[in-house]
Amino acid sequence: MTNEPTEPSGTTEPTETTGMTEPSETPEMPEAAEPSAAAETLETTDAAEPSEVAETPETADEQEAGARPDAYPRFRLGARIEHFITMTSFTVLAITGLPQMYSLTSPIARGMIEFMGSIQQVRLIHRYAAFALVLGSVYHVFTSVYRLYVKRERPRMMPTVKDLYDAINMLRYNLGLIDEHPKMPKFNFGEKVEYWALVWGTAVMTITGFMLWNPIATTKLLPGSIIPAALAAHGGEALLAVLAIIIWHMYNVHIKVFNPSMFTGWLPRDQMEEEHALELERLEAGGDPWPVVPAPELGRRRRIYFAVSFVVGAVVLAALIWLFTFEETAIEVVPQVTREVFSPLNATPAP
């Protein structure tokens, strides 16, 4: 087996000409796409071997691949589960987090807190949603390792030089400087930007959230000023993430054109042709939508992967539970103790 993976279909992907000279290397082979997936998984191309034989499809989506002439396979079930976990936990975090951020200045924020019960209830819900988001992120890491090790796929979300050319040519196309729309792979430059923004934002929110959740433990290692700094970073990143989802993600996949692939697993042909022409050409040339690995080798890699991942997963889960519970964080609000007292309007004359 060679070091450089090849496409399962054995077809050569056509190069692209969009008005700018691109690198001489052939662009990556894609799979089928969605304009901007906030919770996209680390999809990759297949690693073919000389004696490779077709693997029995693992899911209903794979069994139906190629059976719909009006749509093309985009996301498998695992990727859609990841998206649902991220979407749900992020939404709950935004609804319970932003009102806390503006509770002292906004009547709307205070009204939302009262509607949800109390500040104590809001804080508890926020913490449970944070735990779900972290678990979803860990699950994404494990599924990515599965694709990289078991399926021998290349990471498709890694930025490439072609992405830079695609971004420039897209700008030129929108300005009317060139006539041809750039032909892009399964994950285009915009989706990669959004994916890595999600990775960065989740990391920042997790680290600063842990500091705010465990201030005593944090200040044993770091100066006390780190807590207000973490609060500012946590709130700022949260606001940025919400605005990015509403302005960028929601517009691209729900307003500009409805993209059903994260819900159905399939992307209509017209959207494929516009957003992922290279992937469309590969699939229509007979390319396989999903990785193909010889059954004996697949079984051996799976046994190794599941044995190791079970042990590592148990350790990671135990560590997460401990990190989220070892310090008793203040949830209850301290009752108000200041009471009105009489104060004369005129100062008492000095004796």
Instruction: Give pLDDT tens digits for 32-47.
Output: 444 444 434 444 444 3
Mean pLDDT (whole number) for 227-246: 94
Write down how long the chain is.
351
Task: Using pLDDT thresholds of 50, 70 and 90, give the confidence band for residue 222.
Answer: very high
Q: Give the pLDDT score at 91.
A: 95
Residue 350: pLDDT over 80: no
Q: How many CB atoms lie within 10 A of CB 293?
A: 23
Q: Give the pLDDT score at 59.
A: 42
Q: Which residues contact 12 (CB under 8 A, 6 or more apart)?
A: 26
Q: Give the pLDDT score at 160.
A: 93
Mean pLDDT across the chain: 80
Give kind and range of the element (H or E) at residue 148.
Answer: none
Bigger pLDDT: 258 vs 331: 258
- Token pair, residue 223, equals 């100066």
Q: DSSP of 71-105, one letter per residue?
A: EEE---HHHHHHHHHHHHHHHHHHHHHHHHHTTTT
Residue 12: pLDDT over 50: no
| HEC letters along 237-286 | HHHHHHHHHHHHHHHHHHHCCCCCHHHHCEEEHHHHHHHCHHHHHHHHCC
Cα–Cα distance between 185 and 276 in angstroms, integer? 5
Q: How many CB atoms lie within 10 A of CB 79?
A: 22
Q: Give the pLDDT score at 189.
A: 93
| Residues forming a β-bridge with 86 | none
Bigger pLDDT: 167 vs 6: 167
Cα–Cα distance between 29 and 8 in angstroms, integer? 10
Q: Give the pLDDT score at 6.
A: 40
44 by DSSP, 3-state: which? Answer: strand
Query: Is residue 6 within 8 Å of 151, Cβ to Cβ?
Result: no
Start-to-end Cα distance in the chain: 100
45 by DSSP, 3-state: which? Answer: strand
Fold of 44-49+56-325: Fumarate Reductase Cytochrome B subunit (1.20.950)
Instruction: Give pLDDT tens digits for 102-152.
Output: 998 999 999 999 999 989 999 999 999 999 999 999 999 999 999 889 988
